[in-house]
Structure 1
Amino acid sequence: MNMQPTLVPIALGERAPDFSLPALDGSGSVSLADFRGRNSLFLALFVGLWCPFCRRAIAQMAATAPQLQALGIETLGVVATELENARLYFKFRPSRLRIATDPTLSTHRAYGVPKPLPTPELMAALAETRVNPTGELAEPLPVRQAAEALAQLDGYIENQTDHADLERQWPQLKGQFLIDREGLVRWTHIECSEGLAGIGKFPSAQEIVAAAETALGREEGGSY
Structure 2
Amino acid sequence: MADQKRPLQAGDAAPAFELASANFDGTVSLADFSGRPFLIGFFRGLHCPFCRRQLEQLAGIEPSLRAAGVEIVAVINTPVERARLYFRHRPTPVTLLCDPDCRTHRAFGVPHAEFVPDGSSEQPDWPYRATMAQFEAARINPTGEFSEPLQPMEANTALNAKDRFELDEADQVIFAKHATQLVGHFLVDANGIIAWAQMEALDGPSSLCIFPTAAEIVAAVGELGR
TM-score by length of 2: 0.89
Q: Distance in 1 between matches of 2:44 and 2:151?
A: 20
Does structure 2 conserve the Cα–Cα contact (< 8 Å) formed by 1:5 and 1:114? Answer: no
Match of 1:45 in 2: 42
* Map of 1:58 onto structure 2: 55
Instruction: Give the letter aligned to residue 78 of structure 2.
Output: T
Contact 1:7 1:115 in 2 (8 A): no
Q: Among the aligned pairs, what percent are the same residue?
A: 40
Match of 1:110 in 2: 107
Cα displacement (A) at 1:5: 7.5
Q: In the TM superposition, what whole-angstrom CA distance separates every residue of 1:191-212 from its partner, at most 9, and x where no partner exists?
A: 1122222201111100101112
Which ranges of structure 2 fall in alignment gaps of 5 or more residues?
Answer: 119-129
Show the counterpart of 1:101: 98
For 2:122, the equivalent position in structure 1 comes to none
1:93-135 Cα distance to aligned partner (Å, 9 max, x none): 2222211111111110110111121125531112111101111
- Give 1:204's aligned amino acid: T
* Alignment-derived partner of residue 127 in structure 2: none
Query: Which residue type is aligned with residue 225 of structure 2?
Result: G
The one-letter code matched in structure 2 to 1:185 is I
Whether the 8 Å CA contact 1:46–1:174 is kept in 2: the answer is: yes
SS in structure 2 at match of 1:203: coil
The 8 Å contact of residues 6 and 117 in structure 1, kept in 2 or not, is answered as: no
Q: Which amino acid in the other structure matches residue 27 of structure 2?
A: S
1: CA distance, partners of 2:16 / 2:37: 14
1:200 and 2:209 correspond:
yes
Picking from 87, 91, 115, the partner of 1:90 is 87
Q: Corresponding residue for 1:18?
A: 16
Q: Which residue of 2 aligns with 1:221?
A: none
Cα distance in structure 2, aligned partners of 1:124 and 1:24: 37
Partner of 2:27: 29
SS of equivalent to 1:6: coil
Superposition TM-score, scaled by structure 1 size: 0.90
For residues 156-176 of structure 1, the C-alpha deviation after alignment (integer angstroms, 9 at most, x for no partner) is 100000000011112111111
Q: Are residues 5 and 152 of structure 1, via their aligned partners in 2, closer, same or farther at CA, if it must alter by over 3 Å?
A: farther
1:72 equivalent in alignment to 2:89: no
1:133-144 alignment to 2 at 5 Å? 133-144=142-153
Local SS of the residue matching 2:85 = helix
Contact kept in structure 2, 1:118 and 1:171, CA below 8 Å: no
